[in-house]
Every structure is written in C-alpha cells, then in structure tokens.
Structure 1
Amino acid sequence: MILQRIWRAIINPIDPFLFALMVLLIGFTTLVMLSASPDRIEAQLINTGVALSAMWVVASISPQRLQLLALPLYVVGVILLIAVAVFGDISKGAQRWLDLGVMRIQPSELLKIAMPLMLAWYFQMREGSLAVRDFVVAAALLALPVYLIASQPDLGTSLLVLSSGLFIIFFAGLSWKLITPVMLAGIIAITAIIATEDQICQPDVKWPGLRDYQKHRVCTLLDPNKDPLGKGFHTIQAEIAIGSGGWLGKGWRNGTQTQLEFIPERHTDFIFAVISEEFGLIGNLGLLLTLLLVILRGLLIAAHAATVFSRLLAGALSLSFFTYAFVNMGMVTGILPVVGVPLPLVSYGGTALVTLCLGLGILMSIARHRTLLQK
C-alpha cells in the first residue's frame, strides 16, 4: 500500500503522452551523441537526470502557485541582467555570465521562463478590461530584458525570450491591424537586404543597431561561399552533411562529415546535420514528427486550460518549443543566420535542457490541475 502511494505520488504529476515523447527524443539524443561526441555522453546523462528532476518538481506545483512566482522571477531576472551588464564576466567577447563566488550563472536563461510567466500573469490581472495601453505595457515589459540580453551580446537567447513574450501578447488578443504593418516592414527590409547584398555587405559598411559579427552572419547566410574557410564554414559543411545523407542516411557512426569532425559544434548547435547525414531524410521525418507531436500536445493543453494565465502560458511555451526547433534547423540548413540556438531535447547542454524541461513541466502542471478541477 505504501509503495503504491509512493508510486502514485511520483507518476501523478506526469503527463503520459508528453513524457513518452520526451523519452523518445532523449533516447534518440543518446544514440546520436554516442556517434557525434561519445566522450560527452556521461555528462549528458547527468544533465538529463537533473532536467527531468526539475521537470517533475515544477509539474507538481499548481498553476496558481506558479502565478505567484511570476513577478518575483521577472524582477530578479532583470536585476541580474543589469548586474551582468555592470560587472559580469567577459568570455569570448561576450558579457553573459555572473560570478557569484560559489558558482557562475547565466541570468538570461531565467528569462526564458520568467518572461512568459510575467506576461501571462499580467494579462490574467487585466482580464475583462484589456485596452491598447495594456499591450503597450506588455511590450515595454518584454523590451527591457530583450534589450539587456541582446546587448551582452546574445542574439540567440534574446530571440527566444522575444518570441516567448510575443506569443503571449498574440494569444492575449493583439489585433492583426497592428501585426500586419510589422510583418510588411520585415518583408520589405529582408527584400532590401537581399537586393542590395553586394553593396551593404562590404567590410566598411556599418549596419545601424548591429555589431559587425551580426552583420557578417547575415551576409554569410546570403552567400556562405564568399568565406568558405571562415564564417561560411559552418553552413557549408552542414549542407554537405545534410545532402550526403540521402533517404536512409549513411548509417549510425558512418557519417564521414561527422566522424572526420568537419561539422563544427556537431554535438550542440549543429547536431541536426549529424542526424541528417547518418539517419537521412527518414530519420529527419521521424524527428520532425516527434517534435510536432510535442508542440500539438502543448497546444491541446493550452486549448483546454482552466484560466487565462494557464492558457496563455501553455500556448506560449508550446510555440517557444517550435521556435527552438525552427531556428535551429533553419540555421543548420542555411535559411537562417547562425545564432546559437539548440535543437530542443536533442542538442548537448545542461542549462538549455533544464530550461526546456521546466517549460514542459509547466505544461504538465496545467494539464494535471485542469483534470483535478474537473473532478
């Protein structure tokens, strides 16, 4: 009887379907990691254990209690980002880490969870009396941490935090009359960059609001062969690996680009190239289907959520998972600039994996407590 109660206490917070998909992805990750970087497999298993534990803890907390954490987490996160800007550690030209003596932390990772929590809480408080000014306030709450993160500079993380906040604002009811002009402006800007590539990608030309390395990433995206052994090397080698995989791939641990270490960051940002080379199009389709099912399950949880807070948060977290996957695959295949975004639940790493599992734990919490309310 006691063992049964303990077992129920362990499995009750877990959403079976979502967890099964996670196990598939993590199991596949282990297989790919054994090929791409076998010396890191032990560390990855430890990271996975920590991440799953964090997921279970969060899944056990009710959305009502998570709601109480929204404002404190946001405030602490912004204060830590300001602290990073003032006296953070500088590594490889970026100032992203804060040394607390006993440990170093990257506060921007906290905002991946704190930002959607904060905006979902804000719109929950404004339920029934939403006005244009509320969306302006939400945009300001979003802009501050995004600016601080982008200034570090960390374009990848700032993009993820920005997208998570924008999803909340969109689901809260932002009018298409405001969205459409922004989309048109973006399309015009992209078209102008492509049309004037030869002129604006000259070394002496400065782009307003962008650092030189960010400009080079965009120019490399447009034509990686201009610097095949430098800034274009990542993209070119990834495309070779993807193209050589064919339908069925070259087989596990038989990918030449992978095993000869031509693919840079093959265990993190460019692990999708490893999958493409060794498992081919069929392997890619299986991976895409699993990721899609995770996203659809999250959106289904959002659709049946009991409160505005839960609905907005679940929707944003689900589409944030999509953003991770889309941006990573986009930069590996050469349709987006290289911005350092991992493939969710597949790329090697500790912090990103914990953050993703925290998000999935929140989805499980929302799903579970809706069921409890119905009972």
Structure 2
Amino acid sequence: MGSDHATQRQSAAVVLVGVDFGLPHFDAELEELGLLAQTAGLQPVARLVCKRKAPDAALFVGSGKADEIRLLVQMHGAAEVLFDQALSPAQQRNLERHLEVPVYDRTLLILEIFAQRARSHEGKLQVELARLQYLSTRLVRRWTHLERQQGGIGQRGGPGETQIELDKRMIGEAIKRTKERLQKVKRQRNTQRRQRERRDTFNISLVGYTNAGKSTLFNALVKARAYAADQLFATLDTTTRQLYLADAGCSVSLSDTVGFIRDLPHGLVDAFQATLQEAVDADLLLHVVDGANPHFPEQIAQVQRVLAEIDAADIPQWLVFNKLDALAPEQRPPQLQGTYELDARLLPRISLSARSGEGLAALRQQLAAAVLAARGQEMSSGDILDLPGETA
C-alpha cells in the first residue's frame, strides 16, 4: 500500500473480528488488535468475537457470521474490517465481495504500521521486502504496479491472465532487487560490526515485546533521543549508542531493537534478520518486560519464540521488569533484584522504572559487574549476576 492510500485510511472507522479456535492466548477482548488499529491511525467502532472448530474455507467465519459483520459495518458506517488472524487470499477476496468493504488481516495491518514507521534506508527496504512477499501470494486485483488501487471492492475477475502474470513477474523482480539491496546493507553492517569486535566492545541488546518500554530505557541509560512513545512499534530501526559504565571504567555498545509481538508475520522475521542480527551477535540480552501488563508471562513466551527463530535463544539473558512506577504498592515485588524461572532456567531479574529512574543505578552496577566478569572468563547468564532473591 502506498503512502497515498495510507493517508486515505487515517481515522477510518473499522470493525474488529476475532475467531476463537480454542488455541491458547486467544485475545477475547481484541485489545491488541484494537491497539494495532489505533497505531495505524484507524478507529475501531465495533468488535465481534466468535468460536469455531476450524476456519470456513470460503469466508473464514461462515456465512451466518459474515452476515452479522456486514450488519455491523452498515450500522456503524465502517470503512473496512480487520481480522485478528491471517486470511488466505481466497478468504480475503470472498469476504470483500460479501461485506462490500475492504478486508485486512493482522499480517497486513502490522506490515502497514511498519511501512509508516520505518525511517532508515535499511528499515524501509526490510518492510518493502516483507510487503512484496505478502502481496506475491495474493492476486486480489487490488494492487496494480505494486501501489495503485484499481477497481472496486467485489469486482469479479480482472483484466485477464496476461496482466496477472505481468504483475507476478513485476513483484518477483521487485523482490529480487530489494533482496540484493538488503544484502548490500547487510555487508555494510557486518563491516561496522567487525570494527566493533576489533575494538573488543561488550555488546548489549535490548529486546522485548512491543511497548514494554525498551526505547525509554535506552534513552534513560545513554541519554539519547531515540523516539519513544506509549504505542505499539514506536521504534523499528535498530539504534546503537555507547554506554559508559563508571564501575567498569569502560564503555559498552547498547542497541535498541524492534519490538516483538504475538503472531509476528514470518515474512517480517525473515526480512528483519539484518536488524535482529544485533540481538544475535550480542554478548548479553536485556529482555525488557512490561511488568504492569497482566499478560506479561505470555509476552515473555512470545519473545522467547522469536529469539529461538533467529538463533539467539542461547545468548545470556536478563529479565528487566520495567514500569515499576505503574504498579500499585501491593503489586511491587518485595525485592527489586532476584531471579525468574523460565524454561527450566533461572534468569537474573531486575525491576525498575525507566521513566522515574528507580532501579537504573542498580542496573548500571550489575552491567559493570557483568563486563568485568566477561573480561576475566566466559560465564553463563546465571553466573554473571549472582543476585539474591526468590524465584518470581
């Protein structure tokens, strides 16, 4: 979708739809989908949740529920419908014909947010590649020459097989060009990384679920001005700065990475491999957790899945429970430092508030101790930080 189309969609009224197939972590309130919609500049006006044993092959939700959605669209004057699950090209096309409004799924919504937010040359290339790979699987006749809209919703057929094949070839060529450009950027990044390695720099990467406060913590530690906001995917591009640790008498390299999210499109994981390489090559991962979010255990699990996908699961990791200032007194942990049991491992746990600064000094001290220990000998994440405290 081009920028003109994105502008047209700003503040559009949308109906949110979620289907419960009995899988764990189903978002019954469609809270995250609503936040994603608002992040994209859309306005949720109605929500519909239904249960099914399996997706309907033609309409995903079945004809009865599709009729209910159409009624909601008409009642609220909605401009489009958003599904919390991924739709097949045929399901998307059939739903648009039935509902007579554009239909988008979670994958395309995340891609659109990434397209709006990418700032660096590399970030834009990565988003473009993921978007092209998504479009290559669906010839729903919405895009011509990859950007321009054509025809109306519900229009059957198209300009013919020749045009479809032409579009497929164009998308294929665009994917090839974008991959080549990304490889060039990746080589440049590898050169920069090798220079850092020659300087024997200790590398720390911030990872975590989107909106956990990574960028706020990054700014608080290095006094940078990386963009931070209370929204999903506030930052997409990896930012790296030097962090001076007085207790260790040296500087370390600190990187802020893109936030993870449930059901992150695999195309994006693949496309963002270069950006996430900062996490793969880190000596230590600071996994930032929104300690005020009641669903934080699920969010931790999602982050661990993505880390496993990018081969970063074995890197020493500390859990940094952020947003201490947002907790009621009775919710605060009895000790700000301790351990957290995760996948049969005891990981160091530090609670702090990046916004108020509480706990930041302790984090700096522990990071300095980790750097000094790493200089002496190779140590595991559990040994690096010998924190007192109970398993959370």
TM-score tier (shorter): under 0.3
Task: Identify, as 1 or 2, the structure richer in helix.
Answer: 1
**TM (normalized to structure 2)?**
0.24
- Structure with more of its chain in strand, by fraction: 2
The TM-score, its normalising length taken from structure 1, stands at 0.25
Instruction: Tell which structure's C-alpha radius of gyration is larger.
Output: 2
Higher relative contact order (CA 8 A, sep 6+): 1
